[in-house]
Structure 1
Amino acid sequence: MKKLVLGFSAIALLSLASCKKDYNCECTYQNTGNTTIKEDKPINNATLKDAKNTCDDYETSGAFTRTCTLL
Structure 2
Amino acid sequence: MSAIIIASVEGAVIMCRAEQSIAPLEAVATEIHDQLGHALPDRPTPVTRHGRDRLPIYHPPSLRSRNAHA
Higher relative contact order (CA 8 A, sep 6+): 1
Structure exhibiting the larger radius of gyration computed from Cα positions: 1
TM over 0.5: no
Larger helix proportion, structure 1 or 2? 2
Larger strand proportion, structure 1 or 2? 1
Give the TM-score of the pair, scaled to structure 2. Answer: 0.29
